[in-house]
Amino acid sequence: MALSGRPVEAPVVVLGGGPVGMVTALALARHDIPVIVLERGDDEVRSEWRGSTVHPATLELLDELDLAAPMVRQGVRVDRLDYRDLELTESATFSYELLEGETRYPFRLQYEQYKLVRQLRRAVAEAPDVDMRFGHDVVGLRQDDTGVELEVTVGGERVVVAGRWTVAADGAHSTARKLLDVPFPGFTYPLLSLVVATPFRFEDAVADLGAVGYWSGPRGRFSLIKTPDVWRAALSTSTGVDDDPPPGTHPDFLAAVDLLLKGHLDPRELPLSQHQTYRSHQRLASSFRFGRVLLAGDAAHLTSTTGGMGLNSGIHDAVAVSAALAAPDQETATAEYAERRRMVADRFVQPATTESRTSADAVGLAARRERLVGLRTLAEDRTEATKYLRRVSMLGVQH
């Protein structure tokens, strides 16, 4: 297939129209840097459940782009984290009031990823320096020490899009990472995660229920998170679920909800609006910079969803990479971006999520009790509880 026309050019080309790509584009536009965004899909943002957790450090970054205020108005504010067990009486609670004075946003926010993407795309559409292009599938990549040329299929034709730099924010299955043959070592968790969305009012059935609760149990972890529209339940399972049977007949789901509700409702009667199973990974690209291609978000690192750090660290990448490309010395700044953000993923995000996932998946009664007693001891020590909340809120590691 022949290439069509002259190359389309911009100082920066961003691959991917998800939250990381959109934040990168918007931040670059705020630095008066023209950018082209290439998104493989169409301009529809489907109401699918993915991430929803937005940590204080991320809200601070989004506030610089005038995005935080509408999110806070529309989202669910989380003022405490609860750790409980489906059978044991031990529990621990961490209050976000401990972060007063540490951040402008001393709380966690639950705000669905698809709503954030819609908000970002509206903001990008109003930014004159952003050229957003849907239906553009990258199939080839060439670069030298002056720039990058991307071969793209669109509408049955092949075109070339060129930039001095390319930011690959094109997700876990990143085309750019594959075209560059970037090593992406790591591992996949043996247990699947089942996520279920339901309009059922758990707050009417579970005593003193906060907006975010993490339970341990005889079959592993079970979390319950309130979003503006639904409750989201997640659990580990060794059994896959497709459209038949639905989660309403899944044994691990039924067992966990039955223990949680304690006879208030037959779990088989729970109304369900969405469900999916997925695998979690811990993977890290060997470098976040290859020539003039910079990796960000899931294209650069994958982590367990436990604790909600994946989306957040991707947004931190986006702000950091845009600042590097706005620096007077781009060569030095982008090299520092790649080193710093990879270090954060390697030394902070992945160990934190690995520890949370592993401990939460424990099924032995003694191990579960020991975990909760340890968390309660932390929560009762103001200094240690503050350190814990800073860590899980990603404060101090966003750059």
pLDDT of residue 50: 72
Query: DSSP labels for 276-288?
Result: EEEEEEEEE-S-S
Show me where the domains of the chain are located.
8-78+105-185+281-361
Q: How far apart are CA 389 and CA 102, in angstroms?
A: 11
Q: Which amino acid is at 317?
A: D
The answer to whether 182 and 295 are in contact (CB under 8 A) is yes
Q: How far apart are CA 102 and CA 388, in angstroms?
A: 13
- What residues does 134 pair with on adjacent strands? 39
Give the SS3 label for residue 14: strand
Per-residue confidence band for 243, with pLDDT thresholds at 50, 70 and 90:
very low
Give the SS3 label for residue 353: helix
Q: Is the pLDDT of residue 202 over 70?
A: yes
Give the phi and the psi of residue 192 in degrees, each rounded to 5.
-80, 165
Topology of the domain covering 8-78+105-185+281-361? FAD/NAD(P)-binding domain (3.50.50)
Q: Is the pLDDT of residue 107 over 90?
A: yes
- Judging by DSSP bridges, how do beta strands 130-134 and 35-39 pair with one another? parallel
Kindly report, residue by residue over 27-55, the tens digit of the pLDDT: 999 999 999 999 999 888 887 767 899 99
CA separation (Å) from 106 to 56, 100, 137, 304, 330? 6, 6, 40, 24, 34
Give the phi and the psi of residue 60 in degrees, each rounded to 5.
-60, -45
Q: How far apart are CA 165 and CA 178, in angstroms?
A: 17
Kindly report, residue by residue over 361-398, the tens digit of the pLDDT: 889 999 999 999 999 999 999 999 999 999 999 997 75
Mean pLDDT over 105-127 rounds to: 95
Q: Is the pLDDT of residue 240 over 80?
A: no
Per-residue confidence band for 269, with pLDDT thresholds at 50, 70 and 90:
confident
